[in-house]
């Protein structure tokens, strides 16, 4: 299924034959462009960037690469192909045909799910807008911009659903998505992690590794939705998300590689000496990892949640890989382990599985993230350095749910407020850590050159050489 680019808004939803929707989207489009000019990547409106654009929604061959100005990027509306005879696969409506319209009784819950997902997309663009000014290479700059335009397109995807299926209140929500601002005191983004700063490139790579991976898990569970358009929209978004996580994993991996090479070459393992070489020491990478991991843990919501139970039992939001799980898909009488602090210790108790779907998604996510951290450890191991990166305990540094009431160290030990105050800077980046990392950030824009603190990638994008002119400044 190819996408028609002769249209003002490229799409595969037959926009041309839906005048009401077309009018709503054409009204929203200039507002989006204003938002992009104001809040999108800073100082780069005239650059030509080697970007990938979706031209088809088929699993193979959907991407086209070319130099384009970001403001001319063909944002559009693309849904994965419809699955003939698709059914609701879980909850009270299991076995019924998937919904082609929004069921009236689930309208406000569905709108809320779509708005919450939609809000994260422009938020991350806002969080990352300054990073182009300190890019470590043209290759990395291009990857940043690719992530940014695709998050912009994800916003389009959610706005399409709001405008196509939710009438006037959907249109109002679509406007509000362009009005909230990441980190704004009066009108912030909805979720905490999306109001944090992404001040430097180590933070950016950690964000795309950890927080975009949360995006993957959220999209996977929405891709199970009984509401077919939501499922199809999210399934196509997932094809783009894979690249965002690649940017994060390979970015952190290249920093680790560079640091390890220098540690071996100069025979140093003292953090101060490594910093003196203009490199990021492994303990600092560990503290960044701890921060981004814990902030992302909170994105999955409360461990035991009646909202999550409702979303599941009404068929709106499923579990990760729902159809591959061999149970009744109703969770009747089933339980799931959740954590609680009792008598100063972290204990496991069994909660109704229906109320613990957030916790299950968090656990599925943790498994995936741990595998990626192990791939980073392989890089360290290969260089013969005795250091291992480690994910903190999932209860560490939580701000949401019952665990947020306790202070818990990275190994899962409950500690006193006083001990936390003394020790937390061993585990989380300090102002000094962030200032040091910031001091390394400078702008490198010569093709094939890389900042001192990061290794070049093994290969370029789309079979282009590493020293390709990924961004042309005009």
Q: Which residues bind Fe ion (CB under 5 A)?
A: 121, 151, 154, 212, 215, 241, 244
- Phi and psi at residue 389, to the nearest 5°: -80, 150
Q: Is the dihedral of CA 338, 309, 99, 156 positive or negative?
A: negative
For residue 195, give the nearest of 182, 208, 206, 179 by alpha carbon.
Answer: 182
In the complex, minimum distance from the CB of residue 211 to Fe ion, in angstroms, rounded to a whole number: 8
Nearer to Fe ion (CB atom), residue 50 or residue 204: 204
Query: In terms of DSSP bridges, do strands 345-352 and 471-472 run parallel, antiparallel, or are they unpaired?
Result: unpaired
Distance CA 332, CA 53 (A): 44
Distance CA 366, CA 368 (A): 5
Distance CA 427, CA 444 (A): 31
User: What letter would DSSP give residue 321?
Assistant: T
In the complex, minimum distance from the CB of residue 128 to Fe ion, in angstroms, rounded to a whole number: 11
In the complex, minimum distance from the CB of residue 182 to Fe ion, in angstroms, rounded to a whole number: 14
In the complex, minimum distance from the CB of residue 146 to Fe ion, in angstroms, rounded to a whole number: 10
In the complex, minimum distance from the CB of residue 215 to Fe ion, in angstroms, rounded to a whole number: 5
- What burial class does residue 348 get, using C-beta atoms within 10 Å of its C-beta: 0-12 exposed, 13-18 middle, 19+ buried? exposed
Distance CA 451, CA 158 (A): 37
In the complex, minimum distance from the CB of residue 299 to Fe ion, in angstroms, rounded to a whole number: 13
Distance CA 214, CA 192 (A): 13
Report in angstroms the alpha-carbon separations of 106 from 133, 155, 166, 227, 412: 44, 22, 11, 10, 39
In the complex, minimum distance from the CB of residue 241 to Fe ion, in angstroms, rounded to a whole number: 5
């Amino acid at each position: 299924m190819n996408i028609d680019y002769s249209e003002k808004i490229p799409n595969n939803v037959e926009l041309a034959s839906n005048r009401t929707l077309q009018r709503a989207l054409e009204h929203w489009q200039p507002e989006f462009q204003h938002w992009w000019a104001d809040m999108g990547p800073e100082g780069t409106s005239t650059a030509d960037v080697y970007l990938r654009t979706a031209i088809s929604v088929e699993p193979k061959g959907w991407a086209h690469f070319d130099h384009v100005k970001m403001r001319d990027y063909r944002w559009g509306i693309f849904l994965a192909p419809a699955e003939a005879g698709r059914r609701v696969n879980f909850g009270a409506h299991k076995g019924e045909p998937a919904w082609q319209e929004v069921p009236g009784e689930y309208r406000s819950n569905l709108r809320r799910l779509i708005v919450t997902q939609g809000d994260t997309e422009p938020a991350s663009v806002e969080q990352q807008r300054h990073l182009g000014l300190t890019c470590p290479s043209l290759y990395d700059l291009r990857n940043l911009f690719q992530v940014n335009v695709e998050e912009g397109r994800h916003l389009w995807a959610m706005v399409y659903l709001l405008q196509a299926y939710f009438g006037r209140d959907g249109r109002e929500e679509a406007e509000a998505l362009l009005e909230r601002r990441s980190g704004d005191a009066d009108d912030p983004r909805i979720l905490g992690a999306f109001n944090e700063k992404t001040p430097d490139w180590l933070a950016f790579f950690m964000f795309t590794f950890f927080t975009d991976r949360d995006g993957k898990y959220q999209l996977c569970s929405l891709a199970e939705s009984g509401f077919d358009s939501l499922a199809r929209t999210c399934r196509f978004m997932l094809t783009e998300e894979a690249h965002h996580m690649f940017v994060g994993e390979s970015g952190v991996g290249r920093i680790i590689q560079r640091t390890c090479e220098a540690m071996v070459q100069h025979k140093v393992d003292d953090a101060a000496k490594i910093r003196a070489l203009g490199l990021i020491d492994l303990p600092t990478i560990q503290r960044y990892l701890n921060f981004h991991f814990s902030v992302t843990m909170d994105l999955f919501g409360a461990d035991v949640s009646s909202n999550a139970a409702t979303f599941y039992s009404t068929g709106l939001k499923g579990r990760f890989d729902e159809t591959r799980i061999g149970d009744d898909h109703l969770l009747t009488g089933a339980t799931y382990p959740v954590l609680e602090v009792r008598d100063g210790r972290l204990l496991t108790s069994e909660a109704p599985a229906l109320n613990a779907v957030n916790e299950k998604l968090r656990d599925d996510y943790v498994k995936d993230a741990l595998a990626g951290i192990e791939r980073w450890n392989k890089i360290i191991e290969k260089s013969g350095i005795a250091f291992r990166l480690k994910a903190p305990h999932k209860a560490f540094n939580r701000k949401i749910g019952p665990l947020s009431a306790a202070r818990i160290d990275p190994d899962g030990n409950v500690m006193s407020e006083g001990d936390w105050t003394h020790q937390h800077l061993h585990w989380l980046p300090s102002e000094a850590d962030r200032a040091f990392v910031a001091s390394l950030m400078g702008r490198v824009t010569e093709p094939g050159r890389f900042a001192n603190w990061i290794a070049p990638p093994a290969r370029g994008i789309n079979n282009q050489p590493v020293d390709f002119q990924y961004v042309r400044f005009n």
